Amino acid sequence: MKCGGRTTASRILLLFLYLSVEAFQVCLSDFPRIWKRSPSAPPPGSIVLPLSGNVYPLGYYSVSLKVGRPPKLYDLDIDTGSDLTWLQCDAPCTGCTKPRDQLYKPNNNLVHCKDLLCSAIRTTGNEPCKTPHDQCDYDIEYADHCSSLGVLVNDHFTFPLTNNSILSPRLAFGCGYNQHIPGSISPPPTAGVLGLGNGKTSIMTQLHGLGVIRNVLGHCLSTKGGGFLFFGDHPAPPSKISWVPMFNLEKHYSSGPAELLNNGKPSGVKGLEVIFDSGSSYTYFNSKAYRAILNQLRGDLNGKPLKDATDDKSLPVCWKGAKPFKSIDDAKAYFKPVVLSFTKNVQFQIPPEAYLIVTKHGNACLGILSGTEVGLEDHNVIGDISLQDKIVIYDNEKKQIGWVSANCDHLPKS
């Protein structure tokens, strides 16, 4: 997770999610019901939204969404590694970095404890609601120890559909009035997080539950910055997509087992469960896989004019050339792809431009890190750097994850 720069750890693995009924007491309102389509009627269309951001130097991709009546624009960090969407809240807000006029202001629209979505964020051992009409509070902590505390609210989200109509359902999300950021992490540049995981509180799950969109989403992140996010129908030729089964891992998109290949041959590292997480800037492997990748890359560099750049602290492993690199294109010729092989020999190719960054010092640094060293234990995470220039599809209806190489610089045609 990234509350700030997302340069240390991913947003996967919500460490705790519980209810509190003591703070932020204001008047309550029932969770509104909105129209549901007939089971035989097709969803009205799909949603395609432009993205901003990059892996380096920003460390995140974000989308601007209109929330409220009248609608107000908020920039949200897209995150397939968690499911709860939240905005910095004018409540008053502790740990919020946005000016007050850019904070979300609740207006008698809190979610009751009796609501099913409130039950979805309650975990064993948490203090139960005192009455069904209490407000539904949340407290989430992410893998990098950032956290957000607040209350669930519901409000209108405005989505433009590709058929030129407008969708404006009421959806539940968090109004976060206490954000904690560890001292070494920069404050968040966005107004909050767009949770796209497959848990019950996810925006995607709610849209599908209302019958207004297919339960399919995805993204295309450009190496040049920006890209697009989509809900509903995916904009990729079906015959060219590589598909793998989706594990039933709550709130996350995971697949496996995968085997790490070394220049097309087995590396001896297999059985890897892989989480696809747009909430992580970089890619993380467990210690065994990380060592194998590092050994492979160092072996491939033997005899080439690159040296360790130990004075560059941008990432743990960096290399320098005879002269500073100006772009990835200058550096990638020295490196070979990292390849994950899933069942039925479905391969996820990570070319050099999808695991290297060129820093302000002109060095090439490895954007694959040891997840074990940052507290992810044995989990393996494919982050933004390795998701670039691919349409990545999370098909919750068919329980599969797909990808295909693509130009992410422009929005797909309707």
Please give the positions annotated as active site.
Answer: 79, 277
Structure tokens at 8: 């240390």
